[in-house]
Amino acid sequence: MTSPDPVSAATRRSILLLSTATFSSMVTQRICDAMLPELSRVFAVGLPKAAQVVSVFAITYGICQLVFGPLGDRLGKYRIVTLCAFFCSVGSAVAAFAGTLDVLLFARFLTAVGAAGMIPLAMAWVGDSVPDDRLQEMLTKTGLGSTLGLVIGQLLGGLLTDAFGWRWCFAFLTLLFALVGTLLYTDLRRQGVTLLPQRQHAGAEAVQAVAQAGFITQAWRIASGPWSRIVLIMATVEGAVGFGVLAIWASHLHNKLGLSLSVAGAVVSLFGLGGMLYMAMGRRLIARFGQQGLVMLGGGVLGVCACIIAFTPHWLPAIPASLFAGFGFFMFHNTMQATATNMSAENRGTGVSLFSSALFLGQSIGVVLAAGLIALVGSSTVIAGGGVLMAFEGLFFAWSLKRRDNS
């Protein structure tokens, strides 16, 4: 007889809906990548100034982790994700009607505030709801949503900008977040949970909040652990040299190889398709290579592919390079997510939020540095350098995992 599945059908349905939230959050994170040259032209600013629509989003996203982690731990992770979806719809509507770059930056700030709670709290909810031996596998389900969002975000950023103009990107996001919020709210009601905390429970929640350690104490207890420090440092580096440098790939293909924004965005979107390929094979790869093998191989594959993207004289090699770069990156990233989810079982939302904060603060640093370094050493050197650093990070983290497992 086969043993019953420890993950119930209801939990799987909720995980599927959470994957729509991670999808929409990643779409809004990456949709501006391919439109940077157009924003630079429309608002008559340089590329580093236009890139602030990415860096402002990432900085806000990272800082807001410090709020949403403990908020999710105390008020309910699924509830907060639902509210965040509706808030992102409002922020995207403001962006669609922005008349100046400053207003667009403000709209991206608003959207980042909402998006900040979606992926980390979805991960934390999965960590609370499934057994440890199924955790990394189930995280590939929510990861599939965010990875598909990476594909669609970069692809739509180029296609919609070329075909209709950049405002239509944000009009699409407005409708997307409204739909996702409605789906999540329907499932929340099925779970018997209200969208807002009931007034009669306010006293009990206040007692619980007082009983728990304050956020600073919680965060310090998690971050001061030797293993947690390594995970958070690795997340910062990953954000800078992985996600951060990725933001200039489409611009590099557009400027160096003469591809249109839509074609450049489509090529780079294969990065996310490679991630989806990994998610589809994740269960077998996790069993075959283990965490150490995944991070070492993933970092190495990404490093080689980034060098191909950087120095290819023709756009055709960029197609498989972008695909396999995504495959390698998500081998590394999914393992990082699993280790981050287990940094603190007692305050999982806070722990995962610290991880996400480090990841996206690193991304903001990476975007700013990459845009600035392009003028000094060129985009080819920046992209190749990011790939090489990612490969070394994979080797170091594999060594760290081995030390942890042997201690």
Domain of 206, CATH number, reads 1.20.1250.20
- 378 lies in some domain: yes
Residue 128: per-residue pLDDT: 78
Global pTM value: 0.71
Which residues span the domain enclosing 172? 9-194+202-406
- 134 lies in some domain: yes
**Structural domains counted in the chain:** 1
Residue 176: per-residue pLDDT: 95
- 286 lies in some domain: yes
Residue 197: per-residue pLDDT: 63
The parts of the chain modelled with pLDDT lower than 50 are 1-2, 199-213
- 257 lies in some domain: yes
- 103 lies in some domain: yes
- 72 lies in some domain: yes
Residue 85: per-residue pLDDT: 95
- 3 lies in some domain: no
- 145 lies in some domain: yes
The secondary structure of the chain, three-state, reads CCCCCCCCHHHHHHHHHHHHHHHHHHHHHHCCCCCHHHHHHHCCCCHHHHCHHHHHHHHHHHHHHHHHHHHHHHHCHHHHHHHHHHHHHHHHHHHHCCCCHHHHHHHHHHHHHHHCCHHHHHHHHHHHHCCHHHHHHHHHHHHHHHHHHHHHHHHHHHHHHHHCCCHHHHHHHHHHHHHHHHHHHHHHHHCCCCCCCCHHHHHHHHHHHHHCCCHHHHHHHHHCCHHHHHHHHHHHHHHHHHHHHHCCHHHHHHHHHCCCHHHHHHHHHHHHHHHHHHHHHHHHHHHHHHHHHHHHHHHHHHHHHHHHHHHCCCCCCHHHHHHHHHHHHHHHHHHHHHHHHCCCCCCHHHHHHHHHHHHHHHHHHHHHHHHHHHHHHCHHHHHHHHHHHHHHHHHHHHHHHHHHHHC
